Every structure is written in C-alpha cells, then in structure tokens.
Amino acid sequence: MTHQADFNAIPADQYPAHRGQLVSAYRAVRRHSRQLTCGFSEAEHQLQSMPDASPVKWHLAHTTWFFETFILQSHKPNFDWFNPQFCYLFNSYYNAIGAQYPRPKRGLISSPNLQEVWEYRARIDGDITRLLEQCDEATFAELAPTLVLGLNHEQQHQELICTDVKHGLFQAAGVEAEGATPGETPLAEPGWQEHPGGRTTIGHEGSGFCFDNEQAAHEVLLTPFRLATQLVTCGEWLEFMEDGGYEQPLLWLSDGWQWRNENKIEAPLYWRKINGKWHQFSAWDLSRGDGKGVGAAPRRDTGWHAIKPFDPVLHISYYEADAFAEWRGARLPRETEWEAVMKQKEGALQTSQAWEWTQSAYAAYPGFKPSPGMAGEYNGKFMINQMVLRGASPVTSPHHSRPSYRNFFHPGARWQYSSLRLAKDV
C-alpha cells in the first residue's frame, strides 16, 4: 500500500494550495482499508468477539458515515442520505447527532450485508472526490480541516480492524504450534537515556494537524529521570512470570490485583503454553513496514509461534505493566517525560514497536478546547478513568503518530499492541 506524502504536515491555512495532495491522500487512505480487509471472509467481516471490539464491516461503514455526516451533509448540493438508517447503525458515540445502535451488539447487524457496505463506500467516495475537485476555494478551505480529521479517524479504525480481527480469530485458535523455534538474535545492548529535567514545553507546537487532546502546548517542570532505550522483552517477562510476578499481591495496584484475580490472568493476552513451552498467537506478519516499524502493510499470518525472547512483550494491560515495573524496582514513565525525550533526542529511543503505557491519567491539558461543532465529542468526553499510551504500533498507519500524540485506553485493556518502557528517577 502506498500512502501519499505526509498530509498531516500541511498547515491548515495552506490546505487550498494542497488540494491535489489532499484528494490523493483521501483516495490512498480509503484504498488502504480495502486492501487491509480484502482477504477476509464474509464471516470474518461480521465477527465481534467482545463489546470493546467491532466487526470489520462496521468499521468500514462507520468511517464512511463519518465523511457523509460531517462533510457531505453540509457541503454537497441537493444532499440526500444513502440510507437514513445508517445514521443509527453506524454512529459510534456522537450524542449530539442522535441515538446509536448498542456497541456490544454490532456483530448482530446483518443488514446491510457486506456487498451493500462496499456499495455505500463507493457512493460516498465518488461524492467526496467530486466535491473536493469541483468546489470553490472558500468551500474547500472550510471543509478541509474536517477532511483531514476524517482521514486520521479512518487510520485509527484501520489499526482497530487489525486488533479487533486478531482478538476474534484468537477465540477459535487451535492448540497446534506453527513455525520453527526462533533463533537467539539479541537486540543492541539495552541502556538508559537520561534527561536532566527542567522546564520544557509539552503538547503539539507545529502548524500541521493534531487532535484537540494534544493542545494546548504548555510548560511543565520535570525532575531528572532516565528512560530505558528499549521496551521490556518477552524474555524479561518470562523471568517475571517464573518469579511469581502474577502471584505476588504486593507488586500490584489494588484495582489491578482484583482485575487479575477476577479474570484469572497468568500471562499476556495471546500467550499459551503448548507442549511445555510458551507460544503466542499471531494474526499479522509484522515484519513488513517502512524500516522504522511504523506503517506496516500487514498480511495475514495466523497461528501459534514460539515466544521470541528478544521481541518486545505485547498485549499487556496497564495493571500488568505497573506490576512488572514494581518488580524491577522501576516505574512507568510519565507522558511528559516520554514526550520530552522524544522531542529532544528523537531516535535515541527504540520506538514504534508498540503503544507504551505511561503512568499518566488521560486528562485535559491546560487551555484544552474541544474541536468546534459536532466533532467536539471526538476526544474530550473520554477524559476519565483511562490511561495515556505513547508511541505507535506495527499496525499504525504511516505519518499518523508524532511525539505529542496521546492514545488512551482503560487500564485493563490488552487487545491493542501495548507494551511498556521502564523509567527511573535520577
């Protein structure tokens, strides 16, 4: 899959001058969703394995509904809905727009069928591209910020497709191991990146696109600290398990220990012991990408593989990450520390292998203002009971993440490509 040049780097006041690039970016992002899902059976498009996950078919329709609702409804002459019922079926959480079909039951949406969803996408794609190419400059300047938001929104759902499908396929995974035992190829010697602390600016400062939760840029005071240059590995996690890390309550937060016991957690998600050895379930070949681990065009690679001790541990909760850090006599980074190191020494840390849990609660920055209009529900109303993750994963789209990017999930979530990096005070 070939993405266009980084459309997120275009300053908003220059969108009209880059109309051609944005039209091409729209086509490329929408095409990638098709390429990502073309190998799925119709049953796999319908799969919903838990309330937090959604069927592929729903993702494909919802991202289309976003463009129809937020752009075409306001800007297309003689606008008419493709199907008014879709406003209920494929509205995710926009209460200002109307009621939504219950999230835990999205797998029960049998109509529209998959072919009708593809017809929906084709119709909206045609309407959007004609509008982008034919509207006057003032109209383009007005709708372009929403277009770029919509492209980033679709990229987020492309990553969710990868993680939701993996969770669904795992539910019926067999027990036979596949593939050879991995060779012992160690990483570069792990180390620490020190930061002297002091005053630094956190939040998005550039002129390109960012989500509203990355603003406003503001000054913070950091005390001296160090961050590990690499993520915690599967081999290190095995040591934690063998030392009884999942059985020692003193390592765990109170909520975490309750979560571990109620859910009978004994290992990262997708780990299983087969013939006496630990294996992990795979759904995607993550070896493809741009050389930096970001923007892989993932292909199906479903099955069990022996744990590779030098790979980063993946699919762990915040609770597990915090317990491991306690076991190692360290802690999780604050999101301000992570961003400060990335901005000061970009490339010093091994990144883009996973979303990295931080110890920071997801909350508004000083001066935060939700996006205007209906898109104001995009981020702000979720700033409660969730933790911030930083970085990017192997299935994150190219140019989607940046040092100020704030991902967020509930502390018990494990189905994303989540990992941890240790931190220590100096």
Give the C-alpha distances (Å, rounded to integers) separating 301 from 166, 228, 282.
10, 30, 6
347 is written with which tokens?
Answer: 């490339």
Given a cut of 50, is residue 241 above it in pLDDT? Answer: yes
Q: Is the pLDDT of residue 182 over 80?
A: no
Check: CB of residue 356 under 8 Å from CB of residue 304. Answer: no
CA-to-CA dists, residue 205 to 40, 144, 210, angstroms: 40, 20, 9
192-425 has CATH 3.40.1160.10 classification: no
Q: Is the pLDDT of residue 1 over 80?
A: no
Pair 143, 135: CB distance under 8 Å: yes
Start and end residues for every CATH 3.90.1580.10 domain found in the chain? 192-425
Task: Domain 7-170: state its class.
Answer: mainly alpha
Q: How far is CA 339 from CA 220, 351, 404, in A?
A: 11, 12, 6
pTM: 0.93
Give the tens place of pLDDT for each residue, 83-125.
999 999 999 999 999 999 999 999 999 999 999 999 999 999 9
Tokens, residue 62:
């919802």
User: Residue 346 pLDDT > 70, yes or no?
Assistant: no
Tokens for 249, please give them: 């309550």
Output the average pLDDT for the chain.
91
Type of residue at 312: P
315 with 193: CB under 8 angstroms? no
| 21-31 tens-digit pLDDT | 999 999 999 99
Enumerate the CATH 1.20.120 domain ranges in the chain, comma separated: 7-170
Residue 289 pLDDT level (bands cut at 50, 70, 90): very low
Cα 212 to Cα 405: distance, rounded to the nearest angstrom: 10
Q: What is the percent of the chain with per-residue pLDDT over 90, rounded to a whole number?
A: 82
